[in-house]
């Protein structure tokens, strides 16, 4: 098998989504996703696969819906809601 580190995974994931400086609502599709909220008070929702959710600046809400998601709140007063298989949570 092949072992990838975090940088390699992010570079090879097709489902990359970037927010704006405003308050965004971003949701992953059925594939593996990497979502960056950037600035603003964002709501970011993972999909059923292993997703990487990055809140960025602002008071963000990150929601894990399945898989082994990694949630990175960033700066601000963030809310991290997790489900699925042993998510990695970084505030």
| The pLDDT value given to residue 79 | 96
| The pLDDT value given to residue 53 | 94
Report d(CA 91, CA 77) in Å as an integer: 9
Look at residues 51, 56, 91 and name the one whose alpha carbon lies nearest to residue 67: 51
Domain segments of the chain as ranges: 6-76
Q: What is the pLDDT of residues 20-69, one digit of tens each?
A: 999 999 998 887 789 999 999 999 999 888 899 999 999 999 999 888 88
| The pLDDT value given to residue 91 | 60
pTM score, whole prediction = 0.79
């Amino acid at each position: 098998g092949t072992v990838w580190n975090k940088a390699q995974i992010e570079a090879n994931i097709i489902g990359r989504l970037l927010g704006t400086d405003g308050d965004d609502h971003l949701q992953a599709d059925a594939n593996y996703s990497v979502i960056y909220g950037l600035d603003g008070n964002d709501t970011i929702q993972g999909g059923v696969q292993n997703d990487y959710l990055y809140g960025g600046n602002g008071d963000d809400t990150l929601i894990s819906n399945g898989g082994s998601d990694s949630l990175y709140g960033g700066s601000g007063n963030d809310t991290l809601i997790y489900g699925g298989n042993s998510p990695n949570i970084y505030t």
